[in-house]
Amino acid sequence: MLFTNSAKIETTRLTIRLVAHDDLPALLEVNSNDNVTRHLPFDSWKDMSDAEAWYERAMKRHEAGESWQFVIVLRETNRVIGTCLLFRFEETSQIAEIGYVLGQAYWRGGYMREAMTSFIDYAFNEAGVRRLEAEVDPRNAASCKLLERLGFVKEGVQRENWVSKGEISDSNLYGLLRKEWSVATDAVL
């Protein structure tokens, strides 16, 4: 078990905690925006039934120990402004993948870098992860830049690795090792 239900990470401006059913209306606002979902592996949510279906899948994956879905709360307003997750955890190799989504109104405020700095710290130091990976559409400049600022190394391009929204695309594979992390945090903070 990587995370307990009480897992909670506090950063300067944000709280990161496991998703709850009450978060769905705020998450509908985030995920109903085509600009937000452009490079995500799901279509924009249309209504609460999409939110409920997503939540049901997330809960099944929690129970199976496959992935942990968190929300990012802006403490000043107590508003859920995004999500992050740890998934594809391989216990033997201690590898996991990260993903993240932020509501468009909050882009470029340094929020995801702040959230990911503490989330990665938690994954490496508390949750038993040794290597973190991220797969990103090369056209997703914001996500590529964020990962590079966090110290991830671009390890290659997986050609025609995705079919999303009817379109074939490559994906950049990024990796970050626990043993590199203290060096990386020194560099980015």
Ligand X SMILES: CC(C)(COP(=O)(O)OP(=O)(O)OC[C@H]1O[C@@H](n2cnc3c(N)ncnc32)[C@H](O)[C@@H]1OP(=O)(O)O)[C@@H](O)C(=O)NCCC(=O)NCCS
Q: Which residues are near ligand X by CB under 6 A?
A: 36, 39-40, 100-102, 107-113, 136, 140-143, 145-146, 149
Nearer to ligand X, 3 or 162 (CB): 162
Quick one: angle between helices 24-31 and 48-64, nearest 10?
110
| Cα of 65 vs its chain's centroid, Å | 17
Nearer to ligand X, 34 or 66 (CB): 34
- Residue 101 belongs to what H/E stretch? strand 95-102
d(CA 85, CA 88): 10
| Cα of 153 vs its chain's centroid, Å | 17
In the complex, minimum distance from the CB of residue 92 to ligand X, in angstroms, rounded to a whole number: 25
Q: What are phi and psi of 87, to 5 degrees?
A: -145, 180
In the complex, minimum distance from the CB of residue 35 to ligand X, in angstroms, rounded to a whole number: 7
Neighbours of 136 (CB within 10 A): 21
Nearer to ligand X, 34 or 91 (CB): 34
Q: Which has the closest alpha carbon to 93: 130, 127, 118?
A: 130
Nearer to ligand X, 33 or 94 (CB): 33
Nearer to ligand X, 24 or 98 (CB): 98
In the complex, minimum distance from the CB of residue 74 to ligand X, in angstroms, rounded to a whole number: 11
In the complex, minimum distance from the CB of residue 87 to ligand X, in angstroms, rounded to a whole number: 12
In the complex, minimum distance from the CB of residue 151 to ligand X, in angstroms, rounded to a whole number: 12
In the complex, minimum distance from the CB of residue 4 to ligand X, in angstroms, rounded to a whole number: 26
Nearer to ligand X, 36 or 86 (CB): 36
161: left (phi over 0), alpha (psi -120 to 50) or beta: alpha
Three-state DSSP at 152 gives coil
Q: Which amino acid is at 121?
A: D
